[in-house]
Amino acid sequence: MAIIALLLAAESATLSNEVAVSPAVKALARKYAPNVTAEFETELEALEKGGDASAAALLGELLMMPNRQGGPDFVRSCDHSEAAGRYPEGLQNLATCYFRGQGRSRDLGKARDLYHQAADQGYAQAACAYGNMLIAGQGGPIDIPRGLDLCRRAADAGIPDAQTDYGIYLLTGKYTARDPATARHYLSLAANQGQANAAFLLGQIYWNGDGVDKNVPDAALWWIRAYDGGRKDAPFLIGTAAMRIVVEGAQAKHEVPTVAIEQARKWLGIAAKEDPDAEKREKAKELLGLLDQLLGGGSKKGG
């Protein structure tokens, strides 16, 4: 949550996610954290009208959050971000408006320029976003070495999204030498800060044994963390992992651990309702039916 970061914000000459925040905004953050209320937004808007750029930038960020009460308001978010002027977090948020085409018409050239401006001020949150655009050649020429360097520096500055992006580059070997061990390091740093995509990828790493001993329980634990962070496609993987244990036990006529049965039923049930892929939802239902058949067919249930 940005509010917590603001409580610790300070000016820095190095690549950092810290920005100078007014005492008034810090006081409001302490007053309302960790809750984001309509009253908080109203008080921030009053500070913005008084010329406080950090209030405008924070308001712009809060208004685009998916879990905001009443949902995101992208147009107002972009308006407040633009009102923050050269303030780096405002530039970052406005760049995101143009990159996603939410609240503003999509314009990759503008997004790239705004990310660049924020990164040049040392704002690490924008550095890897700009770096990704350099790597992909979005909104301007391709510059892979510089883009990778920006993402690495932002990752080393502790930005979870940058740690995830840089970890993906290392994991896939796209644009750089493949290095699963270092990829796992960065992805673990990100996942431990709540980055759901990083946790999801760690689950895949442990499931496949990619640069590490294969470990199904660890894979499932990372996928659970990914689901808790918003990855609705994780329950299917958790459920199928548990289901494998059930099927293997039934086929070998071994005692099937109760926990495996419970976990298979729980996560496949969630997947049947929530997975974004319709085919996966149907497959989850089929596996639930198979589970009932196996249990009804006399497979031994353990304690």
Q: Is the peptide bond before 235 cis (omega within 30 degrees of 0)?
A: no
Per-residue model confidence (pLDDT) at position 252: 74
Say what the pLDDT of residue 18 is.
57
The full set of domain ranges for the chain reads 1-124, 158-215, 232-303
Distance from C-alpha of 36 to C-alpha of 72, rounded to nearest angstrom:
12
CATH architecture of the region 1-124: Alpha Horseshoe (1.25)
User: 1-124 with 158-215: one CATH topology?
Assistant: yes
Instruction: Provide the pLDDT for residue 10.
Output: 35
**1, 200, 281, 293 from 242: Cα distances, Å:** 33, 16, 17, 16
In three-state secondary structure terms, 46 is: helix
pLDDT digits 0-9 by tens, 153-162: 999 999 999 9
Give the tens place of pLDDT for each residue, 268-286.
999 999 999 999 999 999 9
Q: What length does the chain have?
A: 303
pLDDT of residue 301: 52
The yes-or-no verdict on residue 1 having pLDDT over 50 is no
**Topology of the domain covering 158-215:** 1.25.40
Please say whether the dihedral angle defined by the alpha carbons of residues 270, 233, 2 and 46, taken in this order, is positive or negative: negative
**Most confidently modeled range among 33-47, 82-96, 248-262, 287-301:** 82-96
Per-residue pLDDT band for 37 (boundaries 50, 70, 90) equals: confident
Q: Give the model's confidence band at 75: pLDDT under 50 very low, under 70 low, under 90 confident, else very high.
A: very high
CA–CA dist 163, 46 (Å, integer): 35
Contacts of 257 (CB under 8 A, 6+ apart): 245, 249, 302
Could you tell me the pTM of the whole model?
A: 0.85
Residue with tokens 């976003």: 129
C-alpha distances in Å from residue 6, one per residue of 89, 163, 201, 220, 292: 11, 20, 29, 34, 51
Read off the pLDDT band of 297 (50, 70, 90): low
CA 286 – CA 297 distance, rounded (Å): 16
Work out the pLDDT band at 32, boundaries 50, 70, 90: confident
The dihedrals phi and psi of 84, each to the nearest 5 degrees, come to: -75, -10
Task: Find where tokens 């990083």 sit.
Answer: 198
Beta carbons within 10 angstroms of residue 153's beta carbon: 19
68-77, 98-107, 153-162: range with lowest mean pLDDT = 68-77
- Mean of pLDDT values over 4-28: 59
